[in-house]
A and B are shown apart, each in its own frame.
Chain A
Amino acid sequence: MVANSLVIAEILRSPTPVGTAIAVAPGHAAVGHSSEPDDVVVFALEGDGPRVAHERVSASG
């Protein structure tokens, strides 16, 4: 389970939302996206692999 900030995305002027989190399990991966620094991404870790259970995806930029 990887958690990243938005600092480099901001420096690179990447259009938001950008991938700021990833959950990886054997054979599975799920990427969570954020636009704001307090945007929470929630993953559900279940038997059939991780999935994004919640993210606020409001495009900007």
Chain B
Amino acid sequence: MVRVNAAGWNACDHAALPARSRLTRPEREAGLRVATAPMIREPDELEWEVEKRSGLRFYRIHPADREPTRARVEKVITAWDEQDVAIGIAPELCLSRALLERWQVALRKRMGAGTSRLRLVVAGSGNVDGSSLPANEAVLLDGRTGEVLVRQRKVHPFNFSHEDLELWGLADRLTAPIDEHLSRGERVCVVDAGGARLAILVCEDLARLHAFAAALHAHGVSLLLVPVFARPTKDRRWERARRGLQRRRRLERRGRQQPGDR
């Protein structure tokens, strides 16, 4: 049992999953298998839109709903089933209204859905309602029925500087400074999923973890599911960056020392 303080409780939304969607104790004790799939590689499978308003620029990226993207949904679900996966996660900006429907139908109608170990699927994130002021919303589905269990809006937009666009190779597609066109979410939803409490953070919200950390910690959240749209992940990038920073600081300190200081 976790006693949540009032400040932590009031900072979050809450959802308790129905019994059929919950992770069971034997599943947890055996070690959860959680899987991902990139879903999209080709930039042309996305729409890249820019809107200018009051002298400011806003970008909006969303799936073009091409058939190759759609066809991957069934293939990925099959692979997750074959690997006895309990939770599947698709990335940020890989979800649209049409693709959400595809995920739901594919999960519900597949052979063996009733006996699948796949309990929960984050079907990626996107503007699933097609709003003109777009949300960037991750959707958690029941892995057996495709039912929508939780929707989590991105809270913090990711805005590109000149340096970001160069680093990401996007300088020929977007002009900085440019902000994410986003109808922001307000709170993070804590999901009671049986013995595990989980939360979904969309991309930049993980980078702003300090905004949510106290409330998530107070709830005893043990699993964060995070769809992102980002540069490739490098093994131990943070450790290398930290070692490099420490080395530079050592050199700077030595450089500041005078000969008589030692």
B231 touches A3 (CB 8 A): no
A8 contacts partner chain B, Cβ-Cβ < 8 Å: yes
A1 to B221, CA, bound (A): 13
**B261 smallest CB distance to A (angstroms):** 37
Give the interface size bracket for B toward A.
35 or more
How many contacting A-B pairs (Cβ < 8 A)?
148
A21 to B230, CA, bound (A): 11
B26-34, B186-194, B240-248 - interface stretch:
B26-34
Please, which residues of chain A bring their CB within 8 A of the CB of B76?
Answer: 38, 40
A34 to B75, CA, bound (A): 15
B233 touches A21 (CB 8 A): yes
**Interface residue count for A (Cβ, 8 Å)?**
37
Q: In B99-116, which residues have CB < 8 Å from any A CB?
A: none
Binding site for A on B (CB under 8 A): 31-43, 46, 72, 75-76, 79-80, 83, 85, 87, 89-94, 122, 168-170, 206, 223-236
Please, which residues of chain B bring their CB within 8 A of the CB of A38?
Answer: 37-39, 72, 75-76, 79
A3 touches B90 (CB 8 A): yes
Task: Out of B43, B83, B85, name the residue touching A11 (CB < 8 Å).
Answer: B43
Please, which residues of chain B bring their CB within 8 A of the CB of A22?
Answer: 233
Binding site for B on A (CB under 8 A): 1-12, 14, 18-23, 29, 31-32, 34, 36-47, 53-54
B41 touches A36 (CB 8 A): yes
Given contacts A3-B227, A4-B232, A38-B75, contact A10 B34 (CB under 8 A): no
Nearest residue in B to A45 (C-beta to C-beta)?
B32
**B238 smallest CB distance to A (angstroms):** 8
Please, which residues of chain A bring their CB within 8 A of the CB of B122?
Answer: 3
A37 touches B40 (CB 8 A): yes
B33 touches A43 (CB 8 A): yes
Given contacts A9-B231, A10-B43, contact A43 B206 (CB under 8 A): no
Q: Which of A3, A14, A19, A46 has the most CB of B within 10 A?
A: A3
Please, which residues of chain B bring their CB within 8 A of the CB of A29?
Answer: 236
Nearest residue in B to A10 (C-beta to C-beta)?
B41
